[in-house]
Amino acid sequence: MTKTGKDTTVVIVGGGVAGLALGHFLLRRGVGCVVLEKHTREYVERRQRAGALDAGGVGVLNEWGVGEVVEGHSHGDSDSGVPLLIDGAKRWWRMGDDDEDDVDGAFCPQQILVRNLIRTFLRDGGDLRFGAQDVSLHDIDTEQPLVRYREPDGSTRTLTCDFVAGADGYRGVSRTAIPEDVLTCSSHEFGYAWLTVMTEVPADPLALLAVHSRGFAAQITRGPSASRLYLQCPLTDTVEQWPDERIWSELGARFGEPVERTGPITSKQVVPLRGVVFSPMGYGRLYLLGDAAHLISPMSAEGMSLALHDADVLARAVIQQVEKNDPSLLDSYSDTCLNHTWQRQASAVRMTQTMHDSGDATYEGEFRKQIARKELETMLEPLAEPHPAS
């Protein structure tokens, strides 16, 4: 391990995808780090979140030699891809010719990815501390930042370090350490929400999307015996307005056929669709990554891949500083990640608006619906030409 005369080189706040990936990458190059996670291991490994990585996200893991954490979850070999139902009719996405270095994406539920990252990080000697409560950051604008936290037994610990990585999510404490007059928040509200429903029902196929005049719908795998359902709904809807029977009925209506129910619904939540970007992603010796720095529309399925991109860029920057005393990558970290983030946000906004505007016209009107339908057609394989009568 690289020694700096402090407790560790990097304190990583947050044991989700972004924090664990960064810990892995630093560990691979012998840079000392401590990962602090406020929840228990059991809680973190059960937490249900996003379920897909794009080819770029899988490529990052492979490049750092930790591709084993998504083994068995590739979906890029499928000839058909993810089916899309348009008013009940099945369509297929247009296949491109420029696959990123022939790397496949993966349907990998977040709890499985996190579980695998925890297992391999600890196996390889990583320092991961669960139950770290009341984390606070101090002196991040100096060369001697401190991180304090409370152990499960109630004792207080202070870690000295060279850098702090804030990977503790949108509601974490890391971002609040940046002065308000420094941090800028840019956001976009789409004007509708998703009713997200966790079920003990397997998804077959692993992902199915639907555009319908009643609104967008989807069923996405969350493991071999679970899936999450998504139903577009008004921002004013509440879960009380969505009893189980209505959920299954509405999903069947938007899919164009009844959905088999082999297990119960276990949770429901109404989530407004939005995009959020905080800038800068660094202040002093603190660097933000993942959801602590940005939220992206879940329609894009880019959240975990964005987190891995941030972890990759920050790991390379820290390693260059430690090994070569060269701060140039750290100095450009925020600009590099923000450039990538805005590119993905642009794509996510286009996709979200196209998929939702082309369905229920009560949100944006018939004009936008027809425009969105034409835009959607450019993304899909053309309909088969009818055979002439013999």
Closest to 311 measured CA to CA, from 285, 286, 337, 332: 337
Length of the chain: 390
Cα 332 to Cα 183, 218, 281, 364, 384, distances in angstroms: 17, 38, 10, 39, 49
Give the tokens for residue 349: 């906004």
The pTM assigned to this predicted structure is: 0.90
Q: How many CB atoms lie within 10 A of CB 171?
A: 9
Q: Which residue has the tokens 């850098």?
A: 163
pLDDT per residue, tens digit, the chain (390 aa), is 444 568 999 999 999 999 999 999 999 999 999 999 999 999 998 877 667 888 999 999 999 999 999 876 655 433 346 899 999 999 999 876 544 445 678 878 888 899 999 999 999 999 999 999 999 999 999 999 999 999 999 999 999 999 999 999 999 999 999 999 999 999 999 999 999 999 999 998 888 999 999 999 999 888 788 899 999 999 999 999 999 999 999 999 999 999 989 999 999 999 999 999 999 999 999 999 999 999 999 998 899 999 999 999 999 999 999 999 999 999 999 999 999 999 999 999 999 999 999 999 999 999 999 999 999 999 999 987 655 554
Residue-level pLDDT at 5: 62
Residue found under tokens 């139903």? 231
118 phi, psi to nearest 5 deg = -60, -50
As a whole number of angstroms, the distance between CA 23 and CA 228 comes to: 29
What pLDDT score does 50 carry?
A: 66
